Structure 1
Amino acid sequence: MTSVSNSRKGWGIAAAACAGLWMIHDGSGEVTPPVPSAAQAFAAGPSVHTDAAADPLSPSAPLRLRIPEIDVDAPLTDLGLAPDGSLEVPPAADRNLAGWYGNGTTPGAKGTAIVAGHVDNARGPAVFYALGALKKGHRIEVDRKDGRTAVFTIDAIEVYAKDRFPDAKVYGEADRAEIRVITCGGAFSRQSGGYQGNVVAFGHLIGVR
């Protein structure tokens, strides 16, 4: 079993491995996922719904993730590193499965937790198909093994071309409990290997249930 770690060393491995991570090379090519609007980017300023950060929790493995506004209710599997040093991806056949980097920060603990999943597969939309439709102030909830549910608010949703992915901005360490939810996005080109970018939702911990 992949160990749960909140260490800076483990996070450094993730940061080095994750650039362009969710460039899925299949996908139906028959659907068009929502694209985040400019109003939801950091550059547009904070949302009126932005909430103060809650105190971080102790590390505990995540079990399930919910995003009520886009009807996501998905189990989480931990992901390690592939032989080439890149982060593993969740099995594409299960369209309602997301993954988290098991050697990095656990959602709700101090630092930057990474959650990711497919936008679609050869059969159609998958778990994070509608990620780009989210807005600042929407909620992400993560059920944890310790029985607590970490509640995050979304600070911004941005889309990046794969050759301009801002590693430090997305994967950099944080002094509070933060989360990133990542999927494929941007233009789709079968000739160029699928989606040409990534959609990233940025959030921070605001409460615990």
Structure 2
Amino acid sequence: MTITIRNEELILAKERAIFFPEQQLLAISDLHLGKSAHFRKAGLQVPSTLAQHDLNRLTSLLESYQPQTLLINGDMFHHELNTDVDDFERWKNQYRALKFILVKGNHDRLDQNQYEALGIEIYDPNYCTANFCFIHDALACSQPELYPISGHIHPGVAIVGKAKQRLRFPCFYFAEKYAIMPAFSAFTGLSLIKPKATEQVFAISPTKVVKV
């Protein structure tokens, strides 16, 4: 799905990402690497393949769009360094020419030297382009001339099917003054939103992005 915001083209991918062709930038939010390992450490039976599945989806996106920059719009790591983060470090070695940017979110609590060792550039609280302010929480944006793009709440939308079944999907949400990206990680819940008539919502099904 291709849309235009602030006279700039955005490509909304069903893998829960936005590609900005003008910037050669791929943006995702709420990757939450390490979350499954964190829960396993606490004794909960969470599959060890969840993080690898997310990285496989990210590989597919990078191969499709060939960006110069990968921007994670907050909550890249769920908590501390663990085995999931070790897997990420090995995965990242395939992309030595790719610029990695992290806009810090509320879960990003590693020391600066740990991010540097992973080859990740840190921006706090935002990273700005000519038209957009990438920030984990849109309400914290202090650049009124820019359009904030945030994450944080893991937006979702409920759609009633033909058999009156109520289905929930992650979504991209574009309001007049800001946008909210879906959580990239499959291991997250959804915060259902009720958009106004003037707002745009794009539901993410397993096969495509659909305007609601």
Which of the five TM-score ranges fits, normalised by the shorter chain? under 0.3
Q: Which of the two has higher C-alpha Rg?
A: 2
The TM-score, its normalising length taken from structure 1, stands at 0.26
